[in-house]
């Protein structure tokens, strides 16, 4: 956020010169992270919903980098997936899956809608903001972020400001018949109160009863604080049954197939 006004060669001087700005920034700016590597854990969920054409709705989208999941390349033990450009390659330590059959499926994302209390644009200011919340001793993570931003700028991402529990019902009423709507979130619903989370589940359940819908969740189980990671859960209506596909690291460094 101090581009052109500070450098890592003189952190102490920057802290002194920019004290007023930094104090205001910490007081007013919500933490905004968009960990693109989570797409590596989410992709098997997207491929599992049973549809090749989907409309994505992300809850807690930040800048919407996960909505551009089809633009990234992925490597797993059982195979690869993606456009094959190697502009951004996501990988990790996967155990027992995802299976090769799943990775052979295609995915076309028609609409990309992100809901967030304070969405981050993909302009230069937004890019610097996202980088400001990555620890400076993690250069690989910063490089992934920069590459993801460059790719996400090439597609149309519809970011909407507001409380996603309140915005979601209207969006679900506008579902299209020629693509499956997939609602997803990653390390987002964990910040909802129990009552608010119950509202979210009720919104999705009502919409699922009214027509085809999929819900992909990458979250720590709410009633299992010792789980030690996040669970990749997929629910598809009209059946409405939930499958736990995998357990993953919070930043998707590893994945254990169920």
CA-angle at 179, arms to 101 and 70, nearest 5°: 55
Q: Dump pLDDT digits (tens) for 170-228.
A: 999 999 999 999 999 999 999 999 999 999 999 999 999 999 999 999 999 998 989 99
Rounded to two decimals, the pTM is 0.92
CA distance 120 to 160: 10
Q: Dump pLDDT digits (tens) for 104-117.
A: 999 999 999 999 99
* pLDDT reported for residue 162: 97
Task: Tell me phi and psi for residue 221, to 5 degrees.
Answer: -55, 130
Instruction: pLDDT band for 4, please (50, 70, 90 cuts).
Output: low
CA distance 190 to 219: 7
CA distance 40 to 47: 12
Q: Residues near 121 by Cβ (< 8 Å), separated by ≥ 6?
A: 63, 159
Instruction: pLDDT band for 256, please (50, 70, 90 cuts).
Output: very high
Domain residue spans in the chain? 29-257
CA distance 149 to 160: 18
For residue 1, pLDDT beyond 60? no
């Amino acid at each position: 956020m101090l581009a052109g006004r500070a450098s890592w060669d003189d952190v102490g001087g920057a802290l002194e010169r920019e004290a007023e700005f930094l104090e205001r920034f910490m007081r007013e700016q919500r933490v905004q992270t968009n960990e693109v590597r989570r797409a590596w854990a989410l992709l098997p969920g997207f491929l599992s919903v049973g549809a090749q054409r989907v409309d994505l709705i992300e809850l807690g989208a930040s800048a919407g980098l996960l909505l551009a999941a089809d633009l990234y390349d992925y490597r797993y033990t059982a195979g690869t997936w993606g456009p094959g450009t190697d502009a951004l390659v996501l990988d990790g330590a996967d155990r027992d899956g995802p299976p090769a059959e799943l990775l052979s499926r295609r995915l076309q994302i028609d609409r990309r809608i992100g809901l967030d209390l304070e969405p981050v644009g993909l302009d230069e200011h937004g890019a610097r903001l996202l980088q400001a919340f990555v620890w400076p001793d993690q250069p690989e993570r910063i490089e992934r972020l920069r590459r993801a931003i460059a790719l996400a700028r090439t597609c149309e991402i519809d970011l909407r400001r507001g409380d996603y529990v309140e915005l979601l019902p209207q969006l679900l009423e506008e579902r299209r018949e020629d693509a499956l709507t997939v609602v997803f979130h990653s390390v987002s619903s964990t910040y909802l109160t129990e009552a608010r989370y119950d509202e979210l589940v009720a919104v999705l359940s009502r919409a699922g009863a009214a027509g085809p819908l999929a819900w992909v969740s990458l979250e720590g189980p709410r009633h299992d604080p010792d789980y030690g990671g996040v669970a990749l859960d997929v629910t598809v209506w009209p059946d409405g049954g939930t499958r736990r596909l995998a357990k993953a690291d919070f930043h998707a460094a590893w994945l254990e197939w169920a």
